[in-house]
Amino acid sequence: MNTLLHFLISFIIIEIVFGDAKSYILLIILFSMLVDLDHIPYLINVKKNVFKRKFGAESRSFLHELLGLSIFSLIICILFFFISLRLLQIISLCILLHFSLDFLFGITRPLYPISNKRSRIFSS
């Protein structure tokens, strides 16, 4: 899914849930797009061929799969002791929405790097 779309969906959901998304816009930008930073090494590798190859499952590192979700979940659990509950709710909602949308509408390798098998739930 498109990185900008991740931001827009997170912004809308946070506005619906908390009613004050504008106050947290930098946090929403950062954490709705954070997971997609692993596309950068892929972009550097494919360079000009990126429009032919698009952003398939191979453009994602293990941080974009179930292992990454586990790591982000652990970090969020640790952050629970250090930051306010509202910030933690927004951060976790942004990350959860990102993973959910990618798993629901993209082609993923859920068990990567253990298995390279691709799966798709819905097509976008």
Options 17-25, 41-49, 100-108, 110-118: segment touching Zn ion (CB under 5 A): 100-108
Q: In the complex with Zn ion, which residue's Cβ is closer, 36 or 65?
A: 36
Q: Which residues pair with 107 in a beta bridge?
A: 120
Report in angstroms how near the CB of residue 118 gets to Zn ion at its nearest: 15
* CA–CA distances in Å: residue 21 to residues 2, 18, 35, 116: 20, 7, 20, 37
- Asked if 65 touches Zn ion (CB under 5 A), the answer is no
21-50: contacts with Zn ion (CB under 5 A): 36
Length of the chain as a residue count:
124
Q: In the complex with Zn ion, which residue's Cβ is closer, 61 or 90?
A: 61
Nearest-CB residue for Zn ion: 102
Query: What is the three-class DSSP state of 32?
Result: helix
Q: In the complex with Zn ion, which residue's Cβ is closer, 8 or 83?
A: 8
- Asked if 102 touches Zn ion (CB under 5 A), the answer is yes
Sign (positive/negative) of CA torsion 12, 13, 16, 19? Answer: negative
d(CA 54, CA 58): 10
Interface ranges with Zn ion (CB under 5 A):
36, 102
